[in-house]
Amino acid sequence: MNAPRVKRWAAIAAVLFAGGCASRAWRFADDGPPLAERDPPILTSHRAVERVTLRVRGHEMEFVGYRRYDASSVVREQLVLESGISVLDVAVHGDENRRNSGSVFEAIPDFAETVMEDLRRIWGSRSVFAIGFGDMFGGAYVRPRPARPVTDGTQRMLALPVDREWRLAFDQRPYKSRDPLHAVLLDPRLVPEATIDYSDFDEDGVPREIHLVDLRDGHTLDVEVEEVVLLPAKDAAPAK
């Protein structure tokens, strides 16, 4: 990648991390009618090839993504340009971030951190798939802590705990449903941090289209999963 293009992307990144509008906090709404509870979707280990599009206030960055998802919550993503130039190779596991290799994009402030945070929110420890991590017993889902209704004053959703004090509110869809699934990530103060929409679930329960909106800085991330290969248990070791 030439120097002028790196500088252009660095300028875009400066806009990206300038900050956005703060969202208003939601509140618990235990006084309303009970909401039906359904088990969250649970993914099996797999690897995927996907189209990844990052949009930042009118600017668009497109990548080819090679992702590996481990059912123990390890998610690794390798991003490359259409030309084949490596952009980034990162992994997340819980609160842990790991850069497996550097690239010319290291010159862009906080680019890697944004990618890793989005990975955590779409697939990892703060995602709808994290709710069932380690909570399967005898083939049945065991809810770790009680779910609680929350509201923003208009909509009322059920929120379940993820990643310590964070909560994820999501519409109650049955596992492997082909209907879209909408989720709102709430921080410990119940302030919405991001919305994530999953759609086009395949027969293995993998969503083929994902749309994330970061409510803090306004960037959006679209993922179009083009190919999925399920991994047997012996191959589902954490990415190294």
Topology adopted by domain 3-231? outer membrane lipoprotein receptor (LolB), chain A (2.50.20)
Where is pLDDT greater, at 159 or 15?
A: 159
User: Tell me, what's the pLDDT at 137?
Assistant: 40
- How large a percentage of the chain has pLDDT more than 70? 75
Q: What's the rounded mean pLDDT across residues 31-51?
A: 85
CA distance linking residue 78 with residue 63, whole number of Å? 9
Position 104 pLDDT exceeds 80:
no
User: Tell me, what's the pLDDT at 139?
Assistant: 45
Q: What's the rounded mean pLDDT across residues 24-51?
A: 87
Q: What is the DSSP letter of 128?
A: G
Position 41 pLDDT exceeds 60:
yes
Report how far apart, in Å, the C-alpha atoms of 195 and of each of 132, 136, 165, 215 are. 19, 26, 17, 8
Q: What's the rounded mean pLDDT across residues 128-143?
A: 57
User: Tell me, what's the pLDDT at 107?
Assistant: 62
CA distance linking residue 23 with residue 27, whole number of Å? 13
Bridge partners (DSSP) of residue 167 are 161, 186
What pTM was computed for the model? 0.84
* Candidate from 22-26, 118-122, 154-158, 222-226 with smallest mean pLDDT: 22-26
Task: For residue range 151-180, list pLDDT tens digits in order.
Answer: 999 989 888 888 777 888 877 555 456 778
User: Tell me, what's the pLDDT at 230?
Assistant: 95
At 14, the pLDDT band (50, 70, 90 cuts) reads low
Report how far apart, in Å, the C-alpha atoms of 8 and of each of 61, 105, 212 are. 11, 11, 24
Give Dmax (Cα) for the chain: 59
- How large a percentage of the chain has pLDDT more than 90? 38
CA distance linking residue 95 with residue 78, whole number of Å? 19
Cβ–Cβ under 8 Å, residues 53 and 61:
yes
CA distance linking residue 207 with residue 200, whole number of Å? 6
Where is pLDDT greater, at 210 or 22?
A: 210
Long-range contacts: 66-72, Cβ < 8 Å, 24+? 67/123, 68/231, 68/239, 69/43, 69/45, 69/123, 70/45, 70/236, 70/237, 70/238, 70/239, 71/42, 71/43, 71/44, 71/45, 71/236, 72/133, 72/134, 72/236, 72/238
Position 18 pLDDT exceeds 60:
no
Task: For residue range 55-92, list pLDDT tens digits in order.
Answer: 987 788 899 999 999 987 799 999 998 888 888 899 99
